[in-house]
Amino acid sequence: MNNSRYRWVIVAAGGLLGCVAIGGMFSLPVLLQPMARDTGWSVAGVSSAMTIGFLAMASTSMIWGTLSDRVGALPVVLTGSIVIAASLALASRATSLIEFQLLFGLLLGAATAAIFAPMMACVTGWFDTNRSLAVSLVSAGMGMAPLTMSPLVAWLVSSHDWRTTMQILAVVVAAFMIPAALLVRRPPALAGGAVASGDVRPQSEMSLSQALRSPQFIILIATNFFCCATHSGPIVHTVSYAISCGIPMLAAVSIYSVEGLAGLGGRIAFGLLGDRLGAKRVLVGGLLVQAFGALGYVFVRELSAFYAVAALFGFVYAGVMPLYAVLARENFPLKMMGTVIGGTAMAGSLGMATGPIAGGLIYDTFASYAWLYIGAWGMGLGAFLMALSFRPFPNAQAAPVPA
């Protein structure tokens, strides 16, 4: 096997797995109204399955990551792929709201977590050059879900009921994810249990408990929590905010599309910048811009201004996210990447879970979204200051391993 070429197969497999997995979970917003009409379940009750899903992702991310460190990414992502397809099929047959919440929220959310941390850890292990670009491309694949999977679900539900749509989606998920999972291989440096030849840093013999107690790990997960809490509320509530400003529904929804498209460019641009300037430097700068991007929404009322802020905000918040995996790989032993990246994913999922409820409470209390964006700005500044305080381990950047 030509490792220098096959590593890009790993990137492609990771991007495809992430796209289809996230697309399966985010099919719910598209199916929300048809489900509520057909079943009589409340919109709040159905949509709460997403909150349960985020919490399930948070609580299982480190477990899946640790398991991938022990047995390799392939069995973990293969298991996740099978369970995602099965949970969609089972959820389509749910006869009560609580059954749907458990099958779609708990089971699907936990299975989706089996994709992100193990694949990010695997990809960082395959790359010593172009590492930031590689993880950004995997992240970009995940970011393609709203542009590919969501329209597919919308097209299906236009001619089928929600149950049939979800069953077809389960077949699509299995057809794409299971073959992609079978392409995944352990990084050459870990094949056969070897320690990476380039992993000769002072911390290479660090134990897992030492890593999880280190200031570097604590700062990394705290930064990711505040980073995701910064953009969670604006992502969820900006369409509602735009409508409250008098912008028509379809135009308001297009703001989210602009944000998503800008995010694809941001992932690639930040990946290239991270390889050129260093992951920490780019992350710190990106977090500062993200904070003021969130604040920018306070001052906009017209559609063109919403587009401008959405383009900047989407470009930056999507761009910074893959850099956490790069920082993890630069500072912790390869043998525990799944656990460390799983920890950052856990913190990020918890941060994402704060936005929907915080925005709702703020709007109900003040009849305005202004304090949501001001609060997001404060969270963003907190993330910036935490990232600024991050101090890499001595000689943290490993020497490149020959391909």
Q: For 206-255, write each residue's pLDDT tens digit.
A: 899 999 999 999 999 999 999 999 999 898 888 889 989 999 877 887 88
pLDDT of residue 194: 46
What span, in angstroms and rounded, lies between the C-alpha atoms of 60 and 76? 12
190, pLDDT greater than 90: no
pLDDT of residue 128: 87
**Residue whose entry in the numeric block shows the structure tokens 């920890």:** 343
- 330: tokens are 């630069």
CATH topology of domain 3-185: Growth Hormone; Chain: A; (1.20.1250)
Q: CA angle at residue 272 from 327 to 177, to 5 degrees?
A: 75
pLDDT of residue 260: 85
pLDDT of residue 203: 62
pLDDT of residue 33: 83
pLDDT of residue 353: 82
User: Mean pLDDT over residues 313-341, rounded?
Assistant: 94
**Residue whose entry in the numeric block shows the structure tokens 């990476």:** 196
What span, in angstroms and rounded, lies between the C-alpha atoms of 65 and 122? 10
Torsion of CA 379, 382, 388, 391, to 10 degrees: -110
pLDDT of residue 395: 64
pLDDT of residue 401: 39
pLDDT of residue 195: 46
Q: Which one, of 240, 262, 234, 245, lies nearest residue 376 by Cα?
A: 234
**Residue whose entry in the numeric block shows the structure tokens 């992100």:** 116
User: Mean pLDDT over residues 259-288, rounded?
Assistant: 95
Alpha helices (runs of H) in 197-336, residue ranges in sequence order:
208-213, 215-244, 249-277, 279-296, 303-320, 323-331
Q: Which one, of 230, 229, 228, lies nearest residue 294 by Cα?
A: 230
SS3 category, 128? coil
Q: Tell me how far apart the 2 most distant CA atoms of the chain are, in Å.
A: 61
Q: Which one, of 268, 281, 376, lies nearest residue 322 by Cα?
A: 268
How do residues 291-321 score in pLDDT, each as one tens digit? 999 999 999 999 999 999 999 999 999 999 9
3-185 and 205-388 have identical folds: yes
199, pLDDT greater than 80: no
Cβ neighbours of residue 229 closer than 8 Å, sequence gap 6 or more: 351, 352, 354, 355, 376, 379
User: Mean pLDDT over residues 55-81, rounded?
Assistant: 95
Q: Which CATH number fits domain 205-388: 3.40.50.410, 3.60.21.10, 1.20.1250.20, 1.10.10.10?
A: 1.20.1250.20
Amino acid (1-letter code) at residue 283: L
pLDDT of residue 4: 80
131, pLDDT greater than 70: yes
Burial 257-283 (b: 16+ CB within 10 A, else e): ebbbbbbbbbbbbbbebbbeebbbebb
Alpha helices (runs of H) in 72-199, residue ranges in sequence order:
73-91, 97-100, 108-126, 131-143, 145-157, 162-181
What span, in angstroms and rounded, lies between the C-alpha atoms of 21 and 138? 13
User: Mean pLDDT over residues 173-180, rounded?
Assistant: 98
Per-domain residue ranges of the chain: 3-185, 205-388
- 170: tokens are 């389960």
Q: What is the DSSP letter of 129?
A: S
pLDDT of residue 221: 97
Average pLDDT of the chain is: 90
pLDDT band at residue 205 using 50, 70 and 90 as cut-offs:
confident
Q: Which one, of 28, 22, 35, 25, lies nearest residue 163 by Cα?
A: 35
197, pLDDT greater than 60: no
**Residue whose entry in the numeric block shows the structure tokens 């460190």:** 69
398, pLDDT greater than 80: no
Amino acid (1-letter code) at residue 395: N
Amino acid (1-letter code) at residue 335: K
How do residues 11-49 score in pLDDT, each as one tens digit? 999 999 999 999 998 888 888 888 989 999 887 788 888
Amino acid (1-letter code) at residue 56: A
User: Mean pLDDT over residues 51-61, rounded?
Assistant: 90
Q: What is the pTM of this model?
A: 0.85
pLDDT of residue 201: 55
Residue of higher predicted confidence among 363 and 315: 315
pLDDT of residue 150: 82
pLDDT band at residue 400 using 50, 70 and 90 as cut-offs:
very low
- Composition of the chain by helix, strand, coil, percent to 5: 80, 0, 20
7, pLDDT greater than 80: yes
Sign of the C-alpha dihedral computed for residues 346, 347, 352 and 353 taken in this order? positive
Cβ neighbours of residue 21 closer than 8 Å, sequence gap 6 or more: 80, 81, 84, 111, 112, 115, 142, 173, 177
**Residue whose entry in the numeric block shows the structure tokens 């956490």:** 324
Of the spans 113-117, 128-132, 138-142, 357-361, which averages the highest pLDDT?
Answer: 113-117
What span, in angstroms and rounded, lies between the C-alpha atoms of 377 and 372? 9
